[in-house]
């Protein structure tokens, strides 16, 4: 459901804002670091996992939607999905994507992106995708058995980084072998196992703070401390109830992620089974969605005995920036019993290196970081002395870098005080579909260049983040929303004197600043 038609003044503000967004989105590459130094640099950019082949295989294309995308949307939705095969058979490949409804082109990731999509079969998460769009290939001789009687649900979170409405389809291509085809007799069925460092729950996320962990890397949940432990989910561990063979897996991470690890423990001994590595094509390094995750090779088979314990973890880079609302997921598929060629990891080595599932995607070409004429807040005179900032129509009412005059200068508070932000684009009286969640996220000054997939970043020397200001539904006592369930936030009281710049993680063209001054500070005037 789209918001009601705005007033003429609101339409005028939105028209002006749309022009600013268009300018901000016209970015160029800002390569401040090289991807060559990343752990995934050794992964081949040209060796890509290939699909299994069978006589009579069908290549099926499905489109879920059209989905109305509201201005600034970032909410979680779930709906019945009847777009699936008509007959029983085996799914041997699953390739997700997102396209505009109007022309079926793929949106730029810095404009509209698929935060996540989960295909639930009989209420169990079975296939999944994030904006890295990992393609899932089962090895030859294995497949996920589908029955038309299975109930499919589509759980999706599509992020609109702009104030402009649109319509999209979630698409997926399936390689399918019907049961009626003789080739189906040669396929062994596999079962999905959802391994999730912060799940299973509607929004399984955790925060990674710049400088945390060790040597610039933070592994969750292993290095979780204090309040972070509340984000650890039960699905990060699983004990095999019987003898099984793992046949395929791949990881899901957000920008900043380096790898996910799948390990097994037996009798106090732990072995690495697979590391899904992030192969970044992003010139600036591990800071964007311009990445492909590695999946297991076609001959990867791991034998587990009843009682063996699986564990998954996710490792992020913490040298460059903080990464809020991060994920670490591996969907593992296994067959019953010990399959031919399976390796017992506690008696023989396992090849835990994989191959990427796709190369660079064109929708990731706008990296951002180009000068667009916004001011350097550090050079501006003082703005208003105030204790509050209102957010309306995607604009910070005081200190927004797009504003002119005194309203555009940094609002001033004294040391020991807090500046209160209130998001009037998301109030209790508004539905999640009408709401535009905003954050106040610290970025390194001047934080005034063009928006892209790699700019801006939460890379300030003093990190702070408000969470997504707004309200959303709950499900079974858990948040079914990324919203913070409040629309206000106050800056920390311990900030030292200085000018602080910030942006909205949800709509990163929104930039702002404020200034903390000493008790005896005398306001600068024109």
Counting residues of the chain whose pLDDT is more than 90, the rounded percentage is 89
Tell me the mean pLDDT in the region 408-422. 97
What per-residue confidence (pLDDT) applies to 202? Answer: 86
Tell me the mean pLDDT in the region 136-147. 98
What per-residue confidence (pLDDT) applies to 36? Answer: 55
- Indicate if the pLDDT at residue 293 is higher than 70: yes
Tell me the mean pLDDT in the region 170-185. 97
What per-residue confidence (pLDDT) applies to 474? Answer: 82
What per-residue confidence (pLDDT) applies to 524? Answer: 52
Question: 71: which 2 tokens?
Answer: 């201005």
**Cβ(249)–Cβ(332) under 8 Å?**
yes
What per-residue confidence (pLDDT) applies to 201? Answer: 86
Tell me the mean pLDDT in the region 203-209. 95
Q: How far apart, in Å, are the Cα atoms of 393 and each of 18, 164, 340, 438, 442?
A: 11, 12, 61, 11, 21
In 240-342, which residue ranges form alpha helices assigned H by DSSP?
none
- Burial class (CB within 10 angstroms; exposed 0-12, middle 13-18, buried 19+) of 394: buried
Token pair 């970044």 is found at: 280
DSSP letters of 202-219?
SS--EEE-TT-SBTTEEE
What per-residue confidence (pLDDT) applies to 479? Answer: 83
- Indicate if the pLDDT at residue 93 is higher than 50: yes
> What is the pLDDT confidence band of residue 366, given thresholds at 50, 70 and 90?
very high
Mind listing the pLDDT tens digit for each residue in 180-204?
Answer: 999 999 999 999 999 999 988 889 9
- Indicate if the pLDDT at residue 372 is higher than 80: yes
What per-residue confidence (pLDDT) applies to 398? Answer: 97
Question: 14: which 2 tokens?
Answer: 């939105």
Q: Which pairing describes strands 388-392 and 355-356: parallel, antiparallel, or unpaired?
A: unpaired
Q: What is the mean pLDDT of the chain?
A: 92
Mind listing the pLDDT tens digit for each residue in 436-477?
Answer: 999 999 999 999 999 999 999 999 999 999 999 999 998 777
Query: Of the given ranges (356-360, 462-466, 517-521), which has the lowest mean pLDDT?
Result: 517-521
**Cβ(93)–Cβ(138) under 8 Å?**
yes
**Cβ(383)–Cβ(407) under 8 Å?**
yes
- Indicate if the pLDDT at residue 26 is higher than 70: no
- Indicate if the pLDDT at residue 521 is higher than 70: no
Q: How far apart, in Å, are the Cα atoms of 132 and each of 30, 41, 230, 404, 439?
A: 20, 17, 27, 38, 23
What per-residue confidence (pLDDT) applies to 58? Answer: 98
In this structure, the dihedral spanned by the alpha carbons of residues 365, 369, 374 and 377, taken in order and rounded to 10 degrees, is: 150
Euclidean distance between CA atoms 458 and 250, whole angstroms? 27
- Indicate if the pLDDT at residue 35 is higher than 80: no
- Name residues whose C-beta falls within 8 Å of residue 73's C-beta, 6 or more positions apart in sequence: 158, 159, 160, 433, 436
Question: Rounded to the nearest 5 degrees, what angle is found at the Cα of 188, between the Cα atoms of 184 and 194?
Answer: 120
Residues recorded for the chain: 526
Mind listing the pLDDT tens digit for each residue in 123-136?
Answer: 999 999 999 999 99
The H or E element spanning position 95 is: strand 89-100
Tell me the mean pLDDT in the region 94-122. 96
In this structure, how many other beta carbons lie within 10 angstroms of the beta carbon of residue 58? 14
In this structure, how many other beta carbons lie within 10 angstroms of the beta carbon of residue 480? 19
**Cβ(418)–Cβ(493) under 8 Å?**
yes
> What is the pLDDT confidence band of residue 2, given thresholds at 50, 70 and 90?
very low
- Is pTM beyond 0.75? Reply is yes
Mind listing the pLDDT tens digit for each residue in 269-283?
Answer: 999 999 999 999 999
- Indicate if the pLDDT at residue 3 is higher than 90: no
- Name residues whose C-beta falls within 8 Å of residue 429's C-beta, 6 or more positions apart in sequence: none
């Amino acid at each position: 459901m789209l918001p009601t038609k705005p007033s003429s003044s609101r339409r005028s503000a939105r028209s002006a804002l749309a022009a600013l967004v268009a300018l901000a989105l016209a970015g160029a590459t800002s390569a401040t670091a090289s991807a060559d130094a990343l752990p995934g640099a050794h992964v081949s950019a040209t060796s890509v996992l290939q699909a299994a082949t069978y006589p009579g295989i069908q290549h099926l294309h499905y489109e879920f939607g059209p989905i109305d995308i509201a201005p600034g949307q970032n909410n979680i939705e779930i709906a019945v999905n009847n777009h699936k095969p008509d007959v029983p058979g085996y799914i041997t490949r699953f390739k997700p994507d997102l396209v505009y409804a109007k022309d079926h082109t793929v949106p730029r990731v810095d404009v509209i992106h698929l935060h996540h999509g989960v295909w639930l079969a009989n209420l169990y998460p079975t296939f999944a995708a994030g904006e890295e769009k990992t393609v899932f290939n089962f090895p030859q001789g294995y497949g996920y058995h589908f029955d038309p009687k299975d109930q499919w649900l589509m759980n999706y979170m599509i992020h609109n980084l702009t104030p402009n409405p649109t319509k999209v389809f979630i698409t997926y291509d399936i390689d399918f072998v019907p049961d009626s085809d003789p080739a189906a007799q040669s396929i062994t069925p596999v079962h999905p196992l959802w391994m999730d460092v912060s799940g299973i729950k509607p929004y399984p996320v955790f925060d990674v703070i710049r400088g945390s962990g060790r040597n610039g890397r933070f592994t969750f949940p292993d290095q979780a401390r204090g309040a972070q432990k509340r984000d650890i989910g039960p699905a990060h561990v699983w004990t095999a109830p019987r003898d099984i063979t793992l046949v395929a897996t791949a990881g899901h991470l957000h920008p900043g992620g380096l790898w996910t690890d799948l390990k097994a423990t037996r009798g106090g001994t732990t072995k690495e089974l697979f590391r899904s590595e992030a192969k970044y094509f992003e010139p600036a390094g591990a800071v964007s969605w311009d990445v492909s995750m590695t999946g297991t090779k076609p001959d990867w088979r791991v034998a587990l005995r009843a009682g063996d314990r699986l564990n998954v973890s996710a490792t992020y880079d913490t040298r460059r920036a903080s990464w809020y609302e991060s994920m670490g997921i591996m969907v593992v598929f296994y067959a019953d019993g010990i399959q031919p060629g399976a390796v017992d990891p506690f008696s023989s080595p396992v090849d835990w290196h994989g191959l990427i599932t796709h190369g660079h995607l064109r929708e990731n070409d706008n990296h951002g970081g180009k000068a667009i004429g916004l001011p350097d807040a550090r050079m501006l005179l003082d703005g208003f002395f105030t204790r509050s900032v209102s957010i309306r129509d995607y604009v910070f009412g005081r200190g927004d870098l797009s504003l002119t005059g005194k309203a555009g200068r940094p609002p001033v508070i004294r040391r020991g005080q807090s500046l209160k932000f209130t998001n009037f684009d998301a109030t209790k009286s508004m539905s999640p579909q009408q709401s535009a969640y905003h954050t106040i996220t610290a970025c390194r000054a001047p934080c005034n260049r063009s928006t892209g997939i790699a700019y801006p970043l939460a890379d300030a020397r003093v990190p702070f983040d408000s969470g997504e200001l707004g309200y959303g539904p709950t499900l079974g006592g858990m948040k079914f929303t990324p919203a913070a369930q409040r629309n206000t936030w106050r800056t920390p009281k311990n900030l030292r004197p200085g000018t602080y710049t910030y942006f909205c993680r949800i709509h990163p063209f929104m930039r702002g600043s404020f200034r903390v001054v000493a008790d005896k500070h005398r306001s600068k005037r024109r």
